[in-house]
Structure 1
């Protein structure tokens, strides 16, 4: 009888070891899958972050270019303004304005009517 009990116990232990080995293999497989998923997600996030940073750098460079263009446009506008408005001076009680090289003189001033 003890041989039969030993055989049953050995069979039970063998099946238990097989079940444990299968469970361990399942856990190892799941852990690998989870690790692979995490690595893939981290790669995706890193790629998106790199793309975002590149886009940000392009936009910042464009802003710098536009600011330089605006500065040049402002300088050109000031030059045109000085040419169009000319130089105004108040010598000897007269207002003298130079526009495009031609001088104009106003001898009398009047207040603007409201």
Structure 2
């Protein structure tokens, strides 16, 4: 009977060893699949992150260009406003003339005398 028990135990050990080997192989395969999946997901995330950063950089550059353009437009507007509005100054002249300075490049002198029409002189 001991031979029979030994055969049963040997068969059980063999089947258990095969089952353990199969389980180990299954776990190794699952681990490889999981690692492969993780690596693929990491690549996808890295690609999306790179695309997002490139888009962000493009938008930041566009904003910088627009800000520069707006700054130039504001400066041009201020210059134009300065030319158009100028600085008006009243000066009490003995002959009753009113001098209006529009800009550094243009000045007009309106003079009048009682009983005569306005005269415009430019220089």
TM-score scaled by structure 1?
0.80
C-alpha distance in 2 between matches for 1:34 and 1:104: 89
1:92 alignment counterpart: 92
C-alpha distance in 2 between matches for 1:74 and 1:58: 24
| Unmatched runs of 5 consecutive residues or more in structure 2 | 113-123
Structure 1 residue 79 displacement after superposition: 1.7
Structure 1 residue 101 displacement after superposition: 3.1
Contact 1:95 1:105 in 2 (8 A): yes
Aligned length: 107
Shift in alpha-carbon separation, 1:104–1:37, aligned structure 2, 3 A: farther
Residue 103 in structure 1 maps to residue 108 in structure 2: yes
Structure 1 residue 71 displacement after superposition: 0.8
Larger Rg: 1 or 2? Answer: 2
Structure 1 residue 18 displacement after superposition: 0.5
C-alpha distance in 1 between matches for 2:87 and 2:68: 28
5 Å matches for 1:50-89? 50-89=50-89
- Larger CA deviation: 71-80 vs 17-26: 71-80
2:33 alignment counterpart: 33
Provide runs of 4+ in structure 1 moved above 6 Å. Answer: none
Structure 1 residue 86 displacement after superposition: 3.1
Structure 1 residue 104 displacement after superposition: 5.9
CA RMSD of aligned residues (A): 2.4
TM-score scaled by structure 2?
0.74
Task: Please give the per-residue CA displacement for 1:46-101, whole angstroms capped at 9, x wherever unaligned.
Answer: 11111111111111111111111011101111121122223322322746142783
C-alpha distance in 2 between matches for 1:49 and 1:10: 57
